[in-house]
Amino acid sequence: MADGDRRPPLVVHLDLDGATAIYAMHGWRYPSGTDALFDSGLANALRFLAAAGARATLLLIATDLDDPVKRRLLADAVSSGHEIASHSLTHRALTGLDRNGKWHEIASSRQSIEATLGVEVRGFRAPGFFIDRESLELVAAAGYRYDSSLFPTAACARRIGVAQVSPAPHCPQPHSPLLELPLPLHAPLPLPFHPSYSLVLGDWYFRAGLRRFRRVGAPLVLLFHLTDFADPLPAAERPSRAATLYTLSFLSAARKRERCQRMLGWAMRDYELTDTARLLASHTPADVPRADVNP
């Protein structure tokens, strides 16, 4: 096969936002002492990944390590060969914090995960994808190898002060070795096409986004969330229709698994499944482009 015919790499990421994080992000009170969405979501996701033969990157909110049930599930994930990365300390929007607050969320989360799980934490994703230039500088200063918070959009470019965000792995800062593994371009579609949205909007939405992004020729970061695999939350734990929607509790775990299997299968037709470590090894700071920083 000629170089030009090779399929681009595909890596699977899983954001570990449980019900407590989702409810807090929307200003709701989570009524239960146990996070059933996290527990069933991660257990189901690990079975899904094993069946697919995928080694994923799991992005963890570090304070979830305080829960012994979650900690056991995360230890199972590590023993299964999955990478653990940081999704911040407490899942607060970084763009609403001062520099010290950002540093605490970014650096303390890495230290806590490494100390508790005994793994190296190389990656970071900002909660809600809310990241700015200062936060990227702090991600680099905290010792991370890569960030994966940006979409190749004009809005993201403005937030980090660059002319544009490349859809391919690149260095978003001129004098930093920090790599950016961007999330896939979805324009002209109005929303990202990762499974959480596509489970609501329909399989056609995922296929349309995937087809458009494949033309770019860049690696694909396929982002799942725990909601994509979790059992529906009990009705008593859903204070509104919005809570049912944002936790995908209107779909059974079996139905979601079936549709996620189809989405991963479609992606694997056009992309070569790999893992984040291998993708990083093939994209070093010395051989990827750097963003042009706006004054």
CA–CA distance, 209 with 188 (Å, rounded to integer): 9
How many Å separate Cα 101 from the centre of its chain? 21
What CA dihedral angle connects 211, 195, 271 and 181, to 10 degrees? 100
Phi and psi (nearest 5°) for 225? -130, 160
Residue 210: the pLDDT is: 98
Q: Is residue 295 part of a domain?
A: no
Q: Is residue 288 part of a domain?
A: no
Number of Cβ atoms within 10 Å of the Cβ of 1? 6
Residue 3: the pLDDT is: 46
Number of Cβ atoms within 10 Å of the Cβ of 285? 15
Residue 2: the pLDDT is: 39
For residue 264, give the amino acid letter.
Answer: L
Are β-strands 9-15 and 57-60 bridged in parallel, bridged antiparallel, or unpaired?
parallel
What is the domain count for the chain? 1
Q: Is residue 2 part of a domain?
A: no
Q: Is residue 256 part of a domain?
A: yes
Residue 109: the pLDDT is: 98
Please list the pLDDT of the chain residue by residue as tens digits (295 residues): 334 568 999 999 999 999 999 999 999 999 888 999 999 999 999 999 999 999 999 999 999 999 999 999 999 999 999 999 999 999 999 999 999 999 999 999 999 999 999 999 999 999 999 999 999 999 999 999 999 999 999 999 999 999 999 999 999 988 899 999 999 999 999 999 999 999 999 999 999 999 999 999 999 999 999 999 999 999 999 989 999 999 999 999 999 999 999 999 999 999 999 999 999 999 988 888 888 776 5
Which residues partner with 13 through β-bridges? 57, 223
Q: Is residue 270 part of a domain?
A: yes
147 within 8 A of 181, measured Cβ to Cβ: yes
152 within 8 A of 166, measured Cβ to Cβ: yes
Residue 294: the pLDDT is: 67
CA–CA distance, 47 with 42 (Å, rounded to integer): 9
Q: Is residue 138 part of a domain?
A: yes
Report how far apart, in Å, the C-alpha atoms of 7 and of each of 3, 149, 217 are: 9, 24, 8
Residues 6 or more apart whose Cβ sits within 8 Å of residue 290 = 170, 171, 172, 173, 174
- 3-class SS at 223? strand
CATH number, domain with residue 243: 3.20.20.370
Q: Is residue 294 part of a domain?
A: no
Quickly count helices (H) and strands (E) in the chain. Answer: 12, 8
> If 0-12 CB within 10 Å is exposed, 13-18 middle and 19+ buried, where does residue 100 land?
exposed
* Model pTM score: 0.96
Q: Is residue 292 part of a domain?
A: no
Domain enclosing residue 15, as ranges: 7-281
